Amino acid sequence: MGGVAYGSGRQALLDAAVRVVSAQGLRGLTYRSVAAEAGVSHGSVRYHFGDWATLVEEALAYCAQRSVEGAELPSDEPGFEQFASGLVSLVSADPDAQAFQYELTLEARRRPELRPVMERVNDIYRDAIHRELARHGLDDRALAELVFVTIDGLVFHQTAFGDDARTERGVATLRSLLASYAKR
C-alpha cells in the first residue's frame, strides 16, 4: 500500500468510497473495500467516519457539492446562454461521482433509511436551480422541479451512455426553452 499524504486521508477515503460504489454498487461498500481503494488501513475509515452510514452520507454530500459547483448553473451573463455550461464536462470528468449518486438513489428504494438522505441531496440541486431561475425572473418552484428532473435525466444518460453530444443538445434546448419562457 502506497498510502496517502498526511492530511489528505479523509478526502482520499471519500473519493475511494465514490469509486467503490460506482464500480460495485452500495453492497460493495465496506471499510475494507474503501481502505483498499484509498491505499490505507481499514481502521482509517472507521477513524474518519465512525460508521458506515456517516461515510455514505458524507460521500454523498461531497458529490452533491462538487456537482452543484461543477455544473456551473449560475453565470454572470444575463439570460440563459450560459446556464449549466459546465454540465457536460462535469459528467465527463468524473462519471463515478454521478454513478455513485444514482446507485444510492436506486438503493433508497430498497433501504428506506436512505430515502431522507437522498431527498436532502435532491433538495440541494432543486434549491440551486430555483435560485438561478429566480435570479432571472423565473421564481417558480414547479418550473425549477421540471428543470431539475430534466438536468437529472441528461446527467443520468450521459453517465450511463457517455454521449456528451446528446447532453450538449439537451442543455442547449433547455436554455432556449427557458429564454422563451422568460420572455412570455
pTM over 0.95? The answer is no
Q: Are 149 and 127 in contact (CB under 8 A)?
A: no
Cβ neighbours of residue 26 under 8 Å, at least 6 residues apart? 56, 103, 104, 107
Please tell me what DSSP assigns to residue 6. T
The pLDDT of 156-170, averaged and rounded, is: 97
For cell 444514482, name the residue: 102
- Residue-wise pLDDT for 61-98, tens only, equals 888 888 878 777 777 788 899 999 989 999 999 899 99
DSSP string, 41-95: -HHHHHHHHSSHHHHHHHHHHHHHHHHHHHTT---SSSSSTTTTTTHHHHHHH-H
Residue 6 clears pLDDT 60, i.e. is over it: no
**Domains of the chain by range and CATH?**
1-50 (1.10.10.60), 57-183 (1.10.357)
Residue 3 clears pLDDT 80, i.e. is over it: no
The pLDDT of 128-143, averaged and rounded, is: 95
